[in-house]
């Protein structure tokens, strides 16, 4: 079964700083890739997803992610974070015909 690794457990940034969150997965076959966000006290919501085509994916709220197949990576970025981006971010992977596995999550704190 595939596994998902998120490199940072907790990231603290000031407003307007740039963000990059790392995600690597172990599965070598065809995968679908996702980033979810969980705001405090809420459920997980989809930020963006990649299935095929352009490896640079744009999501909601100014987030982007780049799929690099050779590195098995799907890193999330945002050029300028806001206080309202404070949340936990989860990378997820599923096979074309499999279940969805999540990384451990990265908690982002944005200081005003």
96 binds another protein (CB under 8 A): yes
SS percent in the chain: helix, strand, coil, step 5: 10, 55, 40
Does position 83 interact with another protein (CB under 8 A)? The reply is no
Pairing of strands 106-111, 10-14: parallel
End-to-end alpha-carbon separation of the chain, Å? Answer: 41
Binding status of residue 59 toward another protein by CB under 8 A: no
Q: Least Å distance between CB 29 and another protein? A: 14
* 41: region left, alpha or beta (phi > 0 left; psi from -120 to 50 alpha): left
Q: Radius of gyration of the chain from Cα atoms? A: 13
Answer yes or no whether residue 105 interacts with another protein by CB under 8 A. Answer: yes
Q: Which listed residue (46, 56, 60, 68) binds another protein by CB under 8 A?
A: 46
Record the tokens describing residue 65, joined without a space. Answer: 């992610």
Among 16, 51, 79, 83, binds another protein (CB under 8 A): 51
The footprint of another protein on this chain (CB under 8 A) covers a number of residues equal to 21
- Residues lying near another protein in the complex (CB under 8 A) are found at 32, 34, 36, 42-46, 49, 51-52, 90, 92, 96, 99-105
């Amino acid at each position: 079964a595939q596994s998902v690794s998120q490199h940072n457990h907790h990231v603290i940034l000031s407003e307007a700083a740039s963000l990059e969150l790392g995600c690597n997965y172990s599965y070598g076959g065809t995968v679908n890739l996702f980033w979810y966000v969980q705001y405090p006290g809420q459920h997980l919501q989809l930020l963006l997803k990649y299935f095929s085509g352009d490896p640079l994916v744009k999501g909601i709220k100014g987030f982007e992610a780049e799929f690099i197949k050779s590195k098995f990576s799907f890193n999330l970025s945002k050029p300028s974070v806001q206080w309202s981006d404070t949340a936990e971010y989860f990378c997820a992977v599923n096979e074309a015909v499999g279940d969805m596995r999540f990384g451990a999550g990265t908690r982002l704190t944005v200081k005003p």
